[in-house]
Structure 1
Amino acid sequence: MFAPNDAKQITVRVYKDGLGGKAIKRVKMQKTGNECWTATIKGDLMGKFYTFDMGKGECPGVFAKAVGANGKRGAIINMASTDPEHWCCDERPVTKSPADLIIYEMHHRDFSINRQDAQYPGKFMALTEPWAIDHLKSLGINAVHILPSYDYGSVDETRLSDNKYNWGYDPVNYNVPEGGYSTNPYKPEVRIREFKQMVQALHKAGIRVILDVVYNHTYDIEHSNFQRTYPDYFYRKTADGQYSNGSGCGNETASEKPMMRQFMIESVKYWINEFHIDGFRFDLMGVHDIETMNAIRKAVNDIDPTIFIYGEGWSAGACAIPNEQLGMKANIPQMPTIAAFSDEIRDALRGPFSDDKQPAFLAGLAGHKESIKFGIAGAISHPQVDMTKVNYSKEPWATEPTQMISYVSCHDDMCLVDRLQSSIPGITTEELIKLDLLAQTAVFTSQGVPFMLSGEELLRNKKGVHNSFESPDSINQLNWDNLKQYPQVFNYYKNLIQLRKNHPAFRLGNADLVRKHLEFIDAPESVVAFRLKNYAGRDDWRNIIVVLNANKEPMELTIPDGHYTIVCCDGTINENGLGTLKGSKAIVDAQSALILHD
């Protein structure tokens, strides 16, 4: 155990159960090295539970890998016994480049709680069921980003019938799956086995699993395992001795300290080796220092360099160390093969995070074209992008397009449907669908790594709630009836994803190739147009033109003279062709995308 040298006494307690009852053994730990404490307990302890106590309250320590209900006590189990059948043969789906990923962000409960044929609604095991796998495969995504799935604090695992909801950004035990998503939170091995079964089922379907990790803060300070193990070591403080709050959650962890850095590295490696995780999304990556993020990247590369790492390139408040040292978006060039979300393309499409009612490009407003072009290029330097007109960033922050996550909505903030309804008063359902599809066309034809929120393919809404982190199921659950009500939405998403997968010009994955083959075309205001030129991904698709029109009327523009096949027009995609166009004039329908190839 890692604890202060001057600790007066550290006691290990052994319990029969994960909750309640008195300790059946008590053993004092001995200091055996610098800040290192150990104890040996004789006997067969399999199935027992333990805590550490150094006078600040009992806890399972920071390295617990199995726990009882609510994570109060560590559990002693044989990890090998948690492996599903054929776990040793489980393989990571092949991905040649991050640009090939199509990421689907989901919350376990949202996805399955309202599904009538779900055997395990709201649980890890729901993602092993045929209906779930079939939906994801039919949509065409190849990576799921699951919201925090480690043991978190806001849901009482002994009162799951209360249906209390939370996203899970309140960490307690970082290396243990959340018991609320298991079928039995009281048995430590169940949550571990079921998490592995989920990963195994997704892998068999060719879908990678990305874990949302929240190392930047803990549920609180006083009761955290960090604080009870080594008071104040794991947290940053300001110059006046107050706890720094770069996370916006009352505390921020100190990734630059050796043991916190090592903890993060070992935790990531553990999820890869024990649970076969394929990627990590770092919550508020801008709270962590650059050196730690690069150390994590190096450790992951030693296991498998195709494991994808990305994060939010910002913090929620001022941190106790300078921005120049932090994993901010502007510092992405110092973090090779680590990616960040592009709020440039997101807000240029739908409006700023700070004002739900303010619209942007999708409402036909002028002034957002360069920001969208910047996003389409993958946040790299491109000769046709005028950085003086790009929102938020005045210089490119990605050295490769695979360092940019392209998206228009995620769990955080309004979902796309709610945002469109909030920012465009009086919008009709027809317009809503048109603009929804137009927004995602920008995302999925960009050179970054495309990312979507689960349920967007169902025209999901959250009844206008901006921050639904603890809203009930009635707000957060997917409405599966929308599949029948809006089949055109699912079909467009499905065909758009397939279009990207079939044609590598949309996912060049290299900055020099993007600058060589991506050419923006002059277009009217509130129209963005570009050509992917002379890229022989397929002989019959040597030149591809994409036009995005947010205006309420059709727009005409001049394109390179040619004989084109139309594959996307007025909300329909068909790679076999919807018609032909000959010459140098193209008309794109109102509030929709036009995609052509010659």
Structure 2
Amino acid sequence: MSFLPRRTARRMAVALALTFGATGLLVSSPQQQAQASPPVAGQALAQWIDRDTVIWKGAERADAQLEFGAGESEPAGRRIRLTPGTLSPAERAAYPHLTGYPAFTVDPRDQGLARTALRGRLVATQHTADGRRATTGVQIPGVLDDLYGARAQHAALGPVFRHGRPTLSVWAPTARTVSLELDGRTVPMRRDDSSGVWRAQGQRDWVGKPYRYLVTVWAPSVGKTVTNKVTDPYSTALTADSGRSLVVDLGDPKLAPKGWAGLRKPAAVPLRRARIQELHLRDFSVEDRTSRHPGQYLAFTDARSDGMRHLKSLAAAGTSYVHLLPVFDGATVPEKRADQDRPGCDLTAYAPDSDRQQECLARSAARDAYNWGYDPLHYTVPEGSYAAAPEGAARTVEFRRMVQGLNGAGLRTVMDVVYNHTAASGQDPHSVLDRIVPGYYQRLLDDGGVATSTCCSGTAPEHTMMGKLVVDSVVTWARQYKIDGFRFDLMGHHPKANILAVRKALDALTPAKDGVDGKRIILYGEGWNFGEAANDARFVQATQRNMAGTGIATFSDRARDAVRGGGPFDADPRVQGFASGLYTDPNSSPENGDPAAQRARLLHYQDLIKVGLTGNLADYAFTDTAGRRVKGSQIDYNGTPAGYAADPGDALAYADAHDNETLYDALAYKLPQATSTADRARMQVLALATAALSQGPALSQAGSDLLRSKSLDRNSFNSGDWFNALHWNCADGNGFGRGLPPAADNKDKWPYARPPLADPALRPGCTEITGASAAYRDLLRIHATEPAFGLPTTAAVQQALSFPLSGKDETPGVITMRLADLVIVFNATPHQRHQTVPTLAGRPYALHPVQAHGADRTTATASYAPASGTFTVPARTVAVFRHTQE
């Protein structure tokens, strides 16, 4: 954030002016024109935050007046006058990041000029006593919300049908004109001056026809008036490659697959008990030889494919949701298969540690069929590259059939949604929102530049109409596609109020009225705190801490890092953690420190994991490894409280996800290279268990139970099928050793990657792959059948859950947890461990029958000695014991 420059001792007489005109001409005196510097395109140091107030970074606080020039049809010499002012308490609350800048009050007599001024070039000017004059652009989202938001937020946008006749509506309050390009002809649109919405009412024969909006508007990013031909932000269907929107009614019975109206869903699972598989649609089936629709929506209708059989087995064991990485329309992948590039080399011919595979893939990556999809183009239309028929509304039918297929397999469906950024902004061809209302939908920095902390052109859900788009889009997916949950990408860049508005809108959906029960739809997201919005700089964010108690979960990185070791951005990926051998099975990395440092860090990691097992509860009290009685909020995580949740369900546990290395790959780096694949598989299951057996929701990346590898790729968003595809048949391996991962995001790790990739002993076989999956499913069964894993409140967790051996004498590498009638021992060490709980001596326990009769015969050897209260657990094993009848 920029700060106000130091004020000079000499007061300066200044004049401030907002200048606008349709032609983009700055109107002032000839002398002023000679001495003025035109504003830099896109720069905007002034912000018109409401009809009363302008804030200008760097302006002098002095008597001033506002002047504006004229466009082609307005007389010269008119003014919007400003006087130095102060921000009201409401304005300070709405714009906390601007409170240090000079504020000016708009003369009430000139407020009526605002609507005209906003529809052309808008410039702030400053005149000094010695005749110098500076200019800058003006940011206008605040005043647009003030003037139009109250009416516009209730408008129905996009195609809306009444008795079979469509009305097309778009919000474009700053446009000079808007017309409709429909099926090769131009149709005029009428502006509603109170809302800024333009509408055109059509006939029945419009249905199915392509259209675009022709928007004539001032574009600050290029400093001129343009006429943009742009698709509808509220599109419900598109032509291939998103060239045109289509006039489509999602309620048309022709778009409903057989059985859609009466679709029976699996029983809803409360968020606090949800067990979620995170899955990329193309990864799921593109290399599944048993799928009839590889890489497509319809792969989920192939009930007998290896992939669907595996998902069904997970559902039967207790997985309740499949979380699909973005499946809305993206900007990156060519949707027609004929236009998609393919690698031009034999990838199987190269060595497992070769750089040739990634080199070959890099040549086709920009135009191949692969991308994670975090590149939004149209938020509320299914992505066409996953459709058998990308042209038109057929993709709607296929998407719905996918939902049916997942529901039929016993799984509810979550969508990954990415409203925090767009693929592009300004006049870029992949910019939609910013070419309709320039400077509104994107979040702007104090100098007028578009914020990019999210990776791309950030959006501003704090603005009324961007917030409305988020709510409207989510409700459409819920009502029209029967989506059961939403995961918000970078949710911390949203206002908390926006996410709560989504929750409120979903809660209003009812089976009778909407065909879905909105109250049963789950919400969670990434509550990371960073960027220009960090620390509630602009609004109260939807971050981990702020979302506690809302019933909307945030991903918890606390236990994740403790389980894996280090952090996702470590220069040396061999930094170890609880499940990767820290202290108990050290590797050669100097970053781990000496044995004493390792031991201390491991014990601290165990405290972090304990907090995670409670559901990351802030107020849960326990004895830490230093022997102190503490709360979860008093355990340190990189300078912040480890425990932040108010209730189980506020924090989502996970050991791996699509970001960063897969769990198997992280362990490939971190475990000593001589560790056998059998032991690697056991450590994988133990790591997954820390999430699977926690209070609150938990997520795992698809294929992690099968020891999935991406050949050490830490950012595989554009790495193609070769590195990303899931292998359901263990005979095809797990993906490890497919070459050095792509250089763009991994080259600094290549020195660490070559040795394990070249080692054939690190490639697991069917015994390890199927054994790990079966052991993981046993954990899911235990979680699903034991009520103690779904405790509803902090008080209930405090009463039922404890760590009886926690304290100064705690065993490094072992966590013992008591949960109601269960005792769970996580033994991450390479040795058998005996855990004696004196308070349980004489009480009967036995290994949980699911594990006693389960797939892992090593775990089945775990035992209990009632005389002493001693639980004996094999090396690298999580064992669950249950109290038996006397």
Q: Same fold (TM over 0.5)?
A: yes
Q: Which residue of 1 aligns with 2:791?
A: 508
5+ residue gaps, structure 1, are 16-22, 534-542
Q: Secondary structure at the match of 1:265?
A: helix
**1:25-64 CA distance string (max 9 Å, x none):** 1123221232111123456123210001214532222100
**1:303-333 CA distance string (max 9 Å, x none):** 2212100000115633386176111112122
Superposition pairs of residues 273-422 of structure 1, within 5 angstroms: 273-303=479-509, 304-314=518-528, 317-319=531-533, 322=537, 325-333=540-548, 336-351=550-565, 352-355=567-570, 356-365=573-582, 366=602, 367-380=604-617, 381-384=619-622, 386=630, 387-392=633-638, 393-394=640-641, 396-422=643-669
For the residues of structure 2 that align with 1:27 and 1:61, how far apart are their CA atoms?
Answer: 15
Query: CA 1:316–1:478 in 2, change beyond 3 Å: closer, same or farther?
Result: farther
Which of the pair has the greater relative contact order for Cα pairs under 8 Å at 6+ separation? 1
Aligned counterpart for 1:194 among listed residues 398, 413, 418: 398
Letter in 1 for 2:371: N
Aligned counterpart for 2:701 among listed residues 453, 458, 462: 453
**1:172-214 CA distance string (max 9 Å, x none):** 010000000000112x121100000111122223210000000
Q: Which residue of 2 aligns with 1:118?
A: 291
Say if 2:279 and 2:323, in contact at 8 Å, map to a contact too.
yes
Say if 2:829 and 2:876, in contact at 8 Å, map to a contact too.
yes
What do you get for the CA RMSD once the two structures are aligned?
A: 2.2
Residue 45 (1) aligns with residue 251 (2): no
Residue 217 (1) aligns with residue 421 (2): yes
Query: CA 1:575–1:232 in 2, change beyond 3 Å: closer, same or farther?
Result: same
Q: Secondary structure at the match of 1:39?
A: strand
Query: CA 1:573–1:174 in 2, change beyond 3 Å: closer, same or farther?
Result: farther
Residue 78 of structure 1 and its aligned partner are, at CA, apart by 4.2
Residue 566 (1) aligns with residue 847 (2): yes
Letter in 1 for 2:212: T
Q: Which residue of 2 aligns with 1:104?
A: 277
Residue 520 of structure 1 and its aligned partner are, at CA, apart by 1.0
Q: Which residue of 2 aligns with 1:491?
A: 774
Q: Secondary structure at the match of 1:62?
A: coil
Query: CA 1:296–1:566 in 2, change beyond 3 Å: closer, same or farther?
Result: same
Aligned counterpart for 1:470 among listed residues 707, 718, 721: 718
Say if 1:553 and 1:590, in contact at 8 Å, map to a contact too.
yes
Aligned counterpart for 1:26 among listed residues 179, 186, 196: 186
For the residues of structure 1 that align with 2:655 and 2:504, how far apart are their CA atoms?
Answer: 30
Q: Which residue of 2 aligns with 1:19?
A: none
Letter in 2 for 1:547: V
Q: Which residue of 2 aligns with 1:20?
A: none
**1:219-276 CA distance string (max 9 Å, x none):** 0113321111111111111112221223122x21111111111111111110010000
Q: Secondary structure at the match of 2:228?
A: coil
Percentage of pairs with the same residue: 30
Residue 235 (1) aligns with residue 450 (2): no
Aligned counterpart for 2:313 among listed residues 110, 115, 138: 138
Query: CA 1:61–1:573 in 2, change beyond 3 Å: closer, same or farther?
Result: farther
For the residues of structure 2 that align with 1:588 and 1:267, how far apart are their CA atoms?
Answer: 50
Residue 59 (1) aligns with residue 230 (2): yes
For the residues of structure 2 that align with 1:493 and 1:138, how far apart are their CA atoms?
Answer: 11
Residue 13 of structure 1 and its aligned partner are, at CA, apart by 0.7
Query: CA 1:113–1:437 in 2, change beyond 3 Å: closer, same or farther?
Result: same
Residue 546 (1) aligns with residue 827 (2): no
Query: CA 1:83–1:58 in 2, change beyond 3 Å: closer, same or farther?
Result: same
For the residues of structure 2 that align with 1:417 and 1:221, how far apart are their CA atoms?
Answer: 38
**1:341-382 CA distance string (max 9 Å, x none):** 110011110021122332211134323011100100001121
Say if 1:495 and 1:573, in contact at 8 Å, map to a contact too.
no
For the residues of structure 1 that align with 2:569 and 2:258, how far apart are their CA atoms?
Answer: 48
Query: CA 1:596–1:6 in 2, change beyond 3 Å: closer, same or farther?
Result: closer
For the residues of structure 1 that align with 2:282 and 2:660, how far apart are their CA atoms?
Answer: 18
Residue 161 of structure 1 and its aligned partner are, at CA, apart by 5.9
For the residues of structure 2 that align with 1:228 and 1:254, how far apart are their CA atoms?
Answer: 15
Query: CA 1:5–1:389 in 2, change beyond 3 Å: closer, same or farther?
Result: closer
Give the stretch that moved more between structures: 114-123 or 549-558: 549-558
Say if 2:648 and 2:792, in contact at 8 Å, map to a contact too.
yes
**1:380-402 CA distance string (max 9 Å, x none):** 12111644434243263211111
Aligned counterpart for 2:334 among listed residues 156, 159, 171: 156
For the residues of structure 2 that align with 1:36 and 1:280, how far apart are their CA atoms?
Answer: 29
Say if 1:350 and 1:419, in contact at 8 Å, map to a contact too.
yes
**1:104-131 CA distance string (max 9 Å, x none):** 0000111111111110001111011112
Aligned counterpart for 1:585 among listed residues 870, 873, 885: 870
Letter in 1 for 2:411: I
Residue 76 (1) aligns with residue 290 (2): no
Say if 2:268 and 2:520, in contact at 8 Å, map to a contact too.
yes
Give the stretch that moved more between structures: 231-240 or 115-124: 231-240
Say if 1:139 and 1:493, in contact at 8 Å, map to a contact too.
no
Q: Secondary structure at the match of 2:233?
A: coil
Query: CA 1:308–1:6 in 2, change beyond 3 Å: closer, same or farther?
Result: closer
For the residues of structure 2 that align with 1:370 and 1:422, how far apart are their CA atoms?
Answer: 24
Say if 1:248 and 1:316, in contact at 8 Å, map to a contact too.
no
Q: Which residue of 2 aligns with 1:94?
A: 267
Highest Rg: 1 or 2? 2
Residue 425 of structure 1 and its aligned partner are, at CA, apart by 3.6
Q: Which residue of 1 aligns with 2:381?
A: 176
Give the stretch that moved more between structures: 237-246 or 263-272: 237-246
Letter in 2 for 1:383: A
For the residues of structure 1 that align with 2:538 and 2:655, how far apart are their CA atoms?
Answer: 26
**1:548-571 CA distance string (max 9 Å, x none):** 111222222212222211134898
**1:528-582 CA distance string (max 9 Å, x none):** 111012xxxxxxxxx1100111122222221222221113489828999976542
Give the stretch that moved more between structures: 432-441 or 54-63: 54-63
Residue 77 of structure 1 and its aligned partner are, at CA, apart by 3.0
Query: CA 1:512–1:388 in 2, change beyond 3 Å: closer, same or farther?
Result: closer
Residue 265 (1) aligns with residue 471 (2): yes
